[in-house]
Chain A
Amino acid sequence: KNEVEQSPQNLTAQEGEFITINCSYSVGISALHWLQQHPGGGIVSLFMLSSGKKKHGRLIATINIQEKHSSLHITASHPRDSAVYICAVTPPLNTDKLIFGTGTRLQVFP
């Protein structure tokens, strides 16, 4: 079993829909990251959080430390949101080494 699990693996949506991607982890963490990867490989960091909720534009990330679960929400989805969304965790050591999930491939159609 992977230490970081994401669901769903693949997700399609119509433009404007509200999207939720889930992440569960089985290890202790000091932080959880949500990352976006576009075709071609480039990865962009969306959020780094250790508790509660963060919002940036149409993106919202939440984390429940007790349940070892995080969600990434996209409101009013747009075709340009199409990408792979990756959840990653930082173990509680003096390093930022990340343990990655396998990603959720999102396609938003007009």
Chain B
Amino acid sequence: GAGVSQSPRYKVAKRGQDVALRCDPISGHVSLFWYQQALGQGPEFLTYFQNEAQLDKSGLPSDRFFAERPEGSVSTLKIQRTQQEDSAVYLCASSLATRSPLHFGNGTRLTVT
């Protein structure tokens, strides 16, 4: 595709359910980022991949959050035992290389009820 694609666009989960959010970066992009954006706030960093290597996961808020990018392209952000405070828009961004322009997906809006 032409841009970064995220799915699903919207997700409603009951508290305690596990969810998986998918990001398809632009083909050939080495760097991939996940960000969490709470309502009315700026995005906050979750984790960063360079190809399949997860180089920085310092922003993951708890061990319920797990991200992978096993083949260096598609990435999945998994949240186990969701809680209400996990409700946010989860944004994925990719870039061709370090210091290259970032391209963002439209995000997945997660609502935990």
Contacts and interface: CB of A to CB of B under 8 A. Distances in A.
A33 to B, nearest CB: 7
Interface in B30-63: 31, 33, 35, 37, 40-45, 48, 55-56
B98 A96 contact: yes
Contacts of B48: 95-97
Nearest to B41: A102
Contact of A96 (B89, B91, B99, B106): B99
B41 A94 contact: no
B104 interface: yes
Interface of A: 4, 30-31, 33, 35, 40-45, 48, 86, 88, 94-103
Given A42-B104, A102-B41, A102-B42, 15 more contacts: A35-B104, A40-B106, A41-B37, A41-B89, A41-B107, A43-B91, A43-B104, A86-B43, A95-B98, A96-B100, A97-B48, A97-B56, A98-B102, A100-B44, A103-B42
